[in-house]
Amino acid sequence: MASEGKVVPSLAEAITFRPEGEYKMELVEFKVDVDWRTHPFFCGLDVHKHELAVTICTAEYRDAKVVSRSIFSVNSEGLEQFWNYVKKYQPAGFAMEATGIFHHWIHKFLMQKLTTVDWHAEMIITNPSDAHSLPGRPKDDKIDSESLAKYLAKGMLRCGKPIIEVQEDLKAIFRMILRIEKDRTALKNRIIKTLDRAGIRPKRMSLNMNWVCRFLYYFTHFQGTLGAFLDEIFTNGHPLEPQHTVIKKNIGLFQPFSPIALTHIQRTLIRQDLIELDFKTGRKDTLTIEIGHIIEQYPNLRHHASNLASIPGLSKVKAVWILAEIGSLKQYPTSRKFAAYCGCCPRIVSSAGKVYSAHTMRHSNKYLRTIFYNAAIVICNLLKQDSELKRYATRTIQRKGRTAFKLAVCTVATKLTKITYAILRDGKPFDPEHSQKLLHPLKKDNEQVFTLVEKKIIRHARNVLKRVSQMENTQDLGILGEDLSIIAEHLDSLLEGKKII
C-alpha cells in the first residue's frame, strides 16, 4: 500500500479486483528484459553459399541473451532484407567466420552500408578455429551464428586477416599465374616425352626459348627426316628465316638426330601441345600486364614492392606477391608471428628434454614458404656480391654442413622473413650492412676510414719506423732519420682516427 502524500514515478500502477467489491491500488515494479540504453547489441553471422544465418544478442549482466534470430538468402534482395532487419538494433559489432570466399560479398555489403549510418560498428572476421563451440553440442547455422554473437558480446573473438580488395585481386591473379605455369611445365614435359619416344633427345634444348618452339612447330608440318628439314630451313622465303642466325649457332644440337623422322601421330601430338603452350604463355603475359596496371594505380603498394625488391633473391613481381599474400602487417605483432605465417619456423615436438621433431610447419601459407625458400637458395648458391646477408648464409652453411644444406636454406629463409617484416614496418629499403652501421656508427665525412688490411699495413709500417728510430746509427740517414719518430706518431694518429695537423 502506498503511503499518503508520496508519489513514486517510474512505477506502474495496477488495480486488483476483489470479490467483496473493494478496489485496492498496488504498486508493481516494471521490469524489462533488455536495457536498450546501456546494453548494446551484437550481430553474429554464419555465412553459407546460399543462406545467411543471423543472431542478435545483447551483453546483459553476466550472460549474453539472444534477442532475435533469422535466416536470409544470399542475393541482392535477401541482403537488403537483412540490412532492414538488423539496422533497427544498431549493432555495435558484426562477427563472421572466414569461409574462403563466401564472406567477401557480405563484408563488402556491410562496409558500404555502415558508411551511410551515424553509429559505429566493429567488423570482425575471425578464424573458424577461434569460434568453435563446446564439444558434444549440436551444430547448425543458427547455433554457429549464436555462438559468434555471444563470443563477440563478451569480447572473446580476435580479428583475423582483414579483407583488402586490391590484395585479394592480386592474390587471385598470382595464383592463376601459378596454375598456368604448372600447366606450361606439364605441356613442355609432354613434348619432350614425345620427342624422346621418337629418339630425338637434344641436350640443353629449352622450350622456354621462342625459336625452339617455332622450330618444332614447323618441323611437325614437315613429313621428312630432321636432316632434310634442317636443309629446307635455309632456303629463301622459309618462315624460320628470321631465326636463321640462332639456328646456325645451335644446329649442332640437332645434327646427331638427322636420320630420324616423326610419325603422323607424334607430329600431331607435339603440334597440339605447342599450340596450347603458346596460348597459356599468352595468358600468363596478359595477367602480368594486369599486375603492372594495378601497381601503377596504387603508389603505396608500388613503394612497398620497390623496398622489398631490394632484398637479394626477390624480384619486383615476387615482392608484389608477398604483399598480396600477407595482407595487413598489423595482424602480425612480432616478426616471429610473421615467420610462422610464412612457414619458415620449425614446429618443435619435444618431451622430457628430447626433441622428436623440428620440421618446418606445413600449416602455413605455402606460397610464401616457396617464395622465401627459393630466395634463400639464390642467396646461398648464386649471389656473388659480398654483404652481411651473404656472409650470414655462408656461416650457416658451414655450421650446418653440406649434408644439411636444406636446413641451412630454411634458416636463411627465416632470416629473410625477419628482414621483410622490418622493411614493411619501417618503410625503408634493404640495407646490406645495417647491423654493422648499428655496431659501428658512421664516421664524419672528413674522417679517414681504413679497411682491416690497410690498418695492418699501417701498423706494420709504424712498428718498423719506431724500431729504426731507436737504432744507434740513424744519424747517417740525415733529415729522414730525425723525422722517423714523428712519422710513426702520425701513423698512430691515423690508426686512432685522429686528424693530423
pLDDT reported for residue 355: 67
CA atoms within 13 A on the CB side of 354: 3
pLDDT above 70 covers a percentage of the chain that reads 81
CB within 8 Å of 400: residues ≥ 6 apart: 407, 408, 411
Residue 207: count of CB within 10 angstroms of its CB: 18
Share of the chain above pLDDT 90, in %: 40
pLDDT of amino acid 350: 73
Of 187-196, 330-339, 378-387, give the lowest mean pLDDT range.
378-387
Region 222-240: what's the mean pLDDT?
A: 91
Q: Is 82 exposed, middle or buried, given 0-12, 13-18 or 19+ CB atoms closer than 10 A?
A: buried
C-alpha cell at 131: 569460434
- Residue-wise pLDDT for 434-485, tens only, equals 655 555 554 444 455 566 667 778 888 888 777 777 766 655 555 556 677 7
Given a cut of 90, whether residue 197 has pLDDT beyond it is yes
Q: E strand or H helix at 358, and its extent?
A: strand 354-360
Alpha-carbon gap, residue 151 to 66, rounded angstroms: 12
pLDDT for 3 beyond 50:
no
Residue 135 CB partners (closer than 8 Å, separation 6+): none
How many CA within 13 A on the CB side of residue 155?
2
Residue found under cell 608471428: 337
Q: Report the chain's mean pLDDT, rounded to a whole number.
A: 82
Q: Of the given ranges (124-138, 191-205, 454-468), which has the lowest mean pLDDT?
A: 124-138
**Of residues 130 and 189, which shows the higher confidence score?**
189
Spatial CB neighbours of 392, under 8 Å, sequence gap ≥ 6: 412, 415
Q: What is the mean pLDDT of residues 113-128?
A: 88
Q: Which is it for the CA torsion 80, 82, 83, 85, positive or negative?
A: positive
> What are the DSSP calls for 79-118, one per residue?
HHHHHHHHTTT--SEEEEE--TTHHHHHHHHHHHHHTTSS
For residue 479, the model assigns a pLDDT of: 55
| pLDDT higher than 70, residue 401 | yes
- Output Rg (C-alpha) for the chain, integer angstroms: 38
* Contact assessment for residue 249 and residue 255, using Cβ atoms and an 8 Å cutoff: no
**Lookup: cell for 8:** 513514486
**DSSP run (H or E) holding 126:** strand 122-126
pLDDT tens digits, residue range 270-297? 999 999 999 999 999 999 999 999 999 9
End-to-end C-alpha distance for the chain, whole angstroms: 106
Paired sense of beta strands 122-126 and 93-97, if any: parallel
Handedness of CA 83, 89, 95, 96 (dihedral sign): negative
Report residue 133's pLDDT band, with 50, 70 and 90 as the boundaries: low
What proportions of the chain, in percent to the nearest 5, are helix, strand and coil?
55, 15, 35
Lowest mean pLDDT among 76-85, 96-105, 174-183: 96-105
Q: Residue 46: is its pLDDT beyond 50?
A: yes
Cα distance between residue 210 and residue 203, in whole Å: 17
Cell numbers at 204, concatenated = 640443353
Q: Answer yes or no: are the C-beta atoms of 379 and 391 closer than 8 Å.
A: no
Give the up-direction half-sphere exposure of residue 353: CA atoms within 13 A in the CB hemisphere. Answer: 0
Q: Which of 133, 78, 130, 127 is nearest to 106 (CA)?
A: 78
Q: What is the longest distance spanned by two Cα atoms in the chain?
A: 146
Q: How much is the pLDDT for 175?
A: 94
